Structure 1
């Protein structure tokens, strides 16, 4: 955060991926993130276990029965941001897509008091059935096979769809997906939206008419979802 003055009330976006040995390293920022910074927001990229930022062992340490480490690392970063006075829970939002959507939805369910906003895009959410939908069966080396009892047991500990509760207050979540996503089935987001509405929670749900796992079918549609995410973050986090 060089050159940026931050305060406990600084609107802060925290993001990560945490899976499949994918490295999230410093790079030129997207239009969405640039727009966020120019409006006074802070941006935090967490390099958590499950990714590839520190080599294969960093990824392998969070596979299968150790998946909770991904969520624990992300929660630890959020707690440190708050403890360090860089933001507070009323101004901290999290954003993730695909496996990152699983990440932010899981930590919302586990530690809802830490966050004011959640953007979960094209997410995996029902982890007890993910392997039956689209490309899900190809990810069992990462998450496990829910049809195996011991795998079912450790996946059940974090699967957001099964754990979301009507008796817990969650921040308003922005869930969005694409009906033509051929990688992560849109049913994940649809089911979670329906369950949270049934439980009485406030949510925002959006489904793009076109486009696949990567977002809109063209730049105009991509710009629209970027704008929706930016407005959501500003409304939730900025004073």
Structure 2
């Protein structure tokens, strides 16, 4: 008998702390299944870049919110070549700079900004259910609040987590190419401070009801990918 569930669009939502591997795994899952990919964290980084580009004081919550509402943002949801375009500029790499990382939480904890970007994220997800880049196959969306606030109705909801040491080591390797005391110290603020700040407005450290936890602390990327793909496949049966 044909499995009709496998032919329906699927929405996969992946949440978790910094350095847990959300982006890597979400992109790999999307590419493997022919789905679109949305990095919601990149949208907050883009909003930060936009405000600074426009000369907006990040401490002025109202001005930041107004600027973000007017932000001309395009998210290219190809998992092989995801891009972030704002004001006709490709800022995909720019928003990963240390300067943006240092201040993004000021924008990400602005509740008006969160409300605006959540609406945009839902619109991206809904578009992939009927068409979009995936031709209606669906989307993998990852980032803060995705499993609980943005897409609580997702077909698959996963909290991808890892212990502190594993997350710091991954981010140090990603940013600096090696793991040593100096590089671990350099990434501590980015990983732990951002999680602390963002947790004041978002729950992403423990799984909500109905969310599957995948702990990648002692797993290689391929092992984590296999586990997550298994969760998705089980949900589509």
* TM-score, with length taken from structure 2: 0.42
* TM-score, with length taken from structure 1: 0.42
Greater relative contact order (Cα 8 A, min sep 6): structure 1 or 2? 2
From the two aligned structures, give the one with the greater helix fraction. 2
